[in-house]
Amino acid sequence: MASAKILVVDDDPAIRNLIHRFLAKQDYHVESAEDGKGALAIFEQLNPDLVVLDVNLPDTNGYDLCGEMQARTGVFVLMLTSRTDEDDKIRGFHQGADDYLTKPFGLRELEVRVGAILKRQRPVTAAEQQCLTFNSLAIDPVRREVTLDDELVPLTALEFDLLHFLASHPGRVWRRAELIQKVWDYEYVGDQRVVDVHVGQIRKKIEKDTTQPALIQTVRGVGYKFEPPSGQLAEPEA
């Protein structure tokens, strides 16, 4: 397999070069940029698998850049920031970020976070390739596409993973900590509201009424479950 392509965006040359050299030693193909304009130019040419993106940039902010990159390719994004406020993190997740790392951080932690995100690119098994269909909602794990009433639903990479995981276990109730472990693929240390944020984003895109969600239901005091319409099980597509 070809090595994953990673774009590092940080205006601090010491941090940018440190991350670049460290990830390159892990056999990733790494490119780097110091601002938003340079990042977008490299992004178009490289088509990276992952962007390690600083929030504070001289010509833009990482939140806007994250949203723009996500809109183009659904790329994985790991946000970097010196901010520790949970609201800043939630804002990043709202823009489609897959993970959030607060400065200062250890290189070992960076390695684990990057590896966990890129694991989501692993080839799916035959069972996992099954396209799930619930009335007008279709989830295709091979194309990583979701359609509703034959219209493409614009999900981020992490939103797709979370929806597909829940829909693959219809009726099963999952605690937030379990979803973080299964979907984020490592022991996430932080506010579990990150799950609520992503569920809320998915609901806006697939639920007819977000005030009374029918598909992804909240189980009070526990977590979430995917409830097929009228108890319907997933129908495999021919």
Q: What is the CATH number of the domain that holds 95?
A: 3.40.50.2300
Angle between helices 36-46 and 62-73 (to 10 degrees): 20
- Strand runs (DSSP E) across the chain, as ranges? 5-9, 29-33, 50-54, 76-81, 99-102, 132-134, 137-140, 145-148, 151-153, 174-175, 216-219, 223-226, 235-236
110 and 204 housed in the same domain: no
Each residue of 156-203: pLDDT tens digit? Answer: 888 898 999 999 999 999 999 889 888 876 655 566 778 898 999 999
Q: Which amino acid is at 113?
A: R
User: Residue for token digits 């493409």?
Assistant: 152
Q: What is d(CA 58, CA 74) in angstroms, rounded to the nearest whole number?
A: 24
Average pLDDT score, the chain: 85
Q: How does DSSP assign 7-69, residue by residue?
A: EEE-S-HHHHHHHHHHHHHTT-EEEEESSHHHHHHHHHHH--SEEEEESB-SSSBHHHHHHHH
Residue 213 and residue 114 in one domain: no
Mean pLDDT calculated for residue range 64-85: 83
99 and 143 inside one domain: no
CB atoms within 10 A of CB 171: 11
Highest mean pLDDT among 100-104, 125-129, 157-161, 220-224: 220-224
- Does 127 fall in a domain? no
CB 152 within 8 A of CB 146: yes
β-pair type (29-33, 5-9): parallel
Structural domain ending residue among the three candidates 90, 121, 152: 121
158 membership: H or E segment, kind and range: helix 157-167
0.75 surpassed by pTM = no
Determine, yes or no, domain membership for 21. yes
**CA count, 13 A, side-chain hemisphere, 207:** 18
Whether 115 and 145 map to the same domain: the answer is: no
Please give the structure tokens belonging to residue 235: 């129908």
What is the structure's pLDDT at 1?
45
> Per-residue pLDDT averaged across 71-95, rounded?
77
Number of domains within the chain: 2
Same domain, 117 and 195: no
The reply to whether 75 and 154 lie within a common domain is no
3-state secondary structure of 76: strand
pLDDT band for position 130 (50/70/90)?
A: confident
Which is more confident, 122 or 41?
A: 41
Of 63, 88, 121, which one is at a domain's C-terminal end?
Answer: 121
Distance (Å, rounded) from C-alpha 126 to C-alpha 104? 41
Q: Are residues 213 and 115 in the same domain?
A: no
- For residue 101, give the DSSP letter: E
Give the model's pLDDT for residue 237: 46
Give the domain CATH number at 179: 1.10.10.10
Q: Give the residue, 145 or 232, on which the prediction is more confident.
A: 145
Do 106 and 73 share a domain, yes or no? yes
